[in-house]
Amino acid sequence: MNTLRVKFALLLVIAIVSVVGLLTVVLFYLLGPPTRSERAIEGVVRQVEMVLKLTSSGLDGVTLADGPAGGRLYERTTEALRETLKKRGIDLPVTISRQGHHAPLIVSVPIGDKGWLWMPTSGMPPPGPPWKALFRWLMLIALGATVIAVFVANRMVRPLVFLENAVASVGADGMLPELPERGPAEVRATAKALNSLSTRLKRAMESRMRLVAAAGHDMRTPITRMRLRAEFVTDEDERGKWLNDLDELERIADSAIMLVREETGAAAPELVRLDELVSDIGADLREQNLDVTIEDVQPVTVRVSRFKLNRALRNLIINAATHGVRARVSVNAPNGPMARIVIADGGPGIPPAVIDQVFEPFFRADPARRQDIPGAGLGLTIARELVQRAGGNISIANGPGGGLVQVVELPKAVETEPA
């Protein structure tokens, strides 16, 4: 209910009904109803008096009934007629009724003990303000105003709905698909502006990627020359420091180029048994003397690029086994559309003040993470990019008993697909 469309519609309905209702009430009180009930009853009273005078001289040619006319009895109008007759000195139990929806009103007048005279008369408004008629009138106006208001509100918020759908269609790569430039002028202008924005954004991202790739590639040549020169340094300690720094620079350059490849590359997805892939990664890393334990795995299938997912999970598990001393990995498939991989380590964790920055390129949590382990600081960045492109997500938090807990969620494959 808390949407702009509903607010527009309610505003229009309230405005229309309020104005029409206020004007109707004012007109009723200033000008009165189209036919005053007092005047109508006064005319009926004169008719009753005339009938009584005529019947007092004789009933020849007059047909009388045994009782008052049946049908619906108009009690309020009947009481008003009797009161007016009493004021004129006539105390009779007259009635006003209608025998059908379209039939005329009938005034039943008792003629002594001889019977009842049925006297058709024109319609009369009820005594007092016609609140029921006014309420029905306002309900009819409200219904019509609602139809108009909903139509107008939908027309007014169409550009906003278009924007909402456009933003929702942004893919994992941050690119906006081409939007059709048709419809009303506002919608066409919005689509044109979004398409232009998408084109400029794509060019900017491609330019950035080319810059990073070129920088990483061009760094290799001076690194190679510096490595050759470092070999001629006579001081063993100094030469070792130079070579270590050059190794670090080379890792950074390689990681930057790898990041660009992952952001720009596209590999066809395939059905992958997540539990088997995690078990294979764990066995491979244990052969590299890393403390990796696969604690609990449940069979679950996902549709991803096996090569890219393998690289992402390997980065995360190596990160836990090196910086966090050991890695404990589990795979589960809870009820729902997502499969989950949980990677817990035994390290000191990351200060809460900087934990939100762990996915930033080249991030290092100096107070909490070991710095004697080589790395360029792009492992988590690359892993998140790969997982997000597969339609999943990564979250990192400090565990309740210490260490970090990395949770990777990936959409399950359709159950009818063969694994």
Q: Which domains does the chain have, with CATH numbers?
A: 34-129 (no CATH), 185-262 (1.10.287), 266-411 (3.30.565.10)
With a pLDDT cut of 70, the percent of the chain lying above it is 75
Distance from C-alpha of 373 to C-alpha of 148, rounded to nearest angstrom: 69
Distance from C-alpha of 317 to C-alpha of 338, rounded to nearest angstrom: 20
Distance from C-alpha of 67 to C-alpha of 60, rounded to nearest angstrom: 19
* 272-293 average pLDDT score: 91
pLDDT the model gives residue 370: 43
pLDDT tens sequence across 299-346: 999 988 888 888 888 888 988 888 888 899 999 888 888 999 999 998
Most confident of 105-114, 138-147, 378-387: 105-114
pLDDT tens sequence across 83-133: 888 888 888 898 988 887 777 888 888 887 788 888 887 666 555 556 676
* 378-391 average pLDDT score: 78
Which of the residue ranges 16-25, 63-72, 271-280 would you say has the lowest mean pLDDT? 16-25
For residue 341, count CB atoms less than 10 angstroms from its CB and return exposed for 0-12, middle for 13-18, buried for 19 or more.
buried
| HSE (side-chain half, CA atoms, 13 Å) at 31 | 8
Whether the per-residue pLDDT at 59 is higher than 80: the answer is no
pLDDT tens sequence across 4-45: 667 777 877 888 878 877 777 777 666 555 445 555 676 677
pLDDT the model gives residue 100: 78
Whether the per-residue pLDDT at 73 is higher than 80: the answer is yes
pLDDT the model gives residue 367: 43
**pLDDT top residue among 250 and 278:** 278
pLDDT tens sequence across 223-257: 888 888 887 788 888 888 888 878 777 777 776 66
Q: Are strands 393-398 and 327-332 parallel, antiparallel or unpaired?
A: unpaired
* 381-403 average pLDDT score: 83
pLDDT the model gives residue 416: 43
pLDDT the model gives residue 368: 42
pLDDT the model gives residue 408: 92
Residue 258 banded pLDDT, cuts 50, 70, 90: low
Which of the residue ranges 118-127, 158-167, 372-381 would you say has the lowest mean pLDDT? 372-381
List the structure tokens of 326.
Answer: 């050991």
pTM score: 0.47
Q: How far is CA 59 from CA 53, 54, 226, in A?
A: 11, 8, 137
Distance from C-alpha of 254 to C-alpha of 376, rounded to nearest angstrom: 9
For residue 168, count CB atoms less than 10 angstroms from its CB and return exposed for 0-12, middle for 13-18, buried for 19 or more.
exposed
pLDDT the model gives residue 417: 45
Among 335, 314, 340, 329, CA closest to 409 = 340
List the structure tokens of 177.
Answer: 């698909």
pLDDT the model gives residue 329: 93
pLDDT the model gives residue 61: 61
pLDDT tens sequence across 190-207: 778 888 888 887 777 777
Distance from C-alpha of 351 to C-alpha of 365, rounded to nearest angstrom: 8
With a pLDDT cut of 90, the percent of the chain lying above it is 9
DSSP-assigned beta bridge partners for residue 412: 302
Q: What is the 3-state secondary structure (H, E, C) of the chain?
A: CCCHHHHHHHHHHHHHHHHHHHHHHHHHHHHCCCCCHHHHHHHHHHHHHHHHHHHHCCCCCCCCECCCCCCEECHHHHHHHHHHHHHCCCCCCCEEEECCCCCCEEEEEECCCCCEEEEEECCCCCCCCCHHHHHHHHHHHHHHHHHHHHHHHHHHHHHHHHHHHHHHCCCCCCCCCCCCCCCCHHHHHHHHHHHHHHHHHHHHHHHHHHHHHHHHHHHHHHHHHHHHHHCCCCCHHHHHHHHHHHHHHHHHHHHHHHHHHHHHCCCCCEEEEHHHHHHHHHHHHHHCCCCEEEEEECCCEEEECHHHHHHHHHHHHHHHHHHCCCEEEEEECCCCCEEEEEEEECCCCCCCCCHHHCCCCCCCCCCCCCCCCCCCCCHHHHHHHHHHHCCCEEEEEECCCCCEEEEEEEEECCCCCCC
pLDDT the model gives residue 2: 59
Distance from C-alpha of 318 to C-alpha of 403, rounded to nearest angstrom: 14
Residue 407 banded pLDDT, cuts 50, 70, 90: very high
Most confident of 162-166, 293-297, 407-411: 407-411
Q: What is the mean pLDDT of the chain?
A: 77
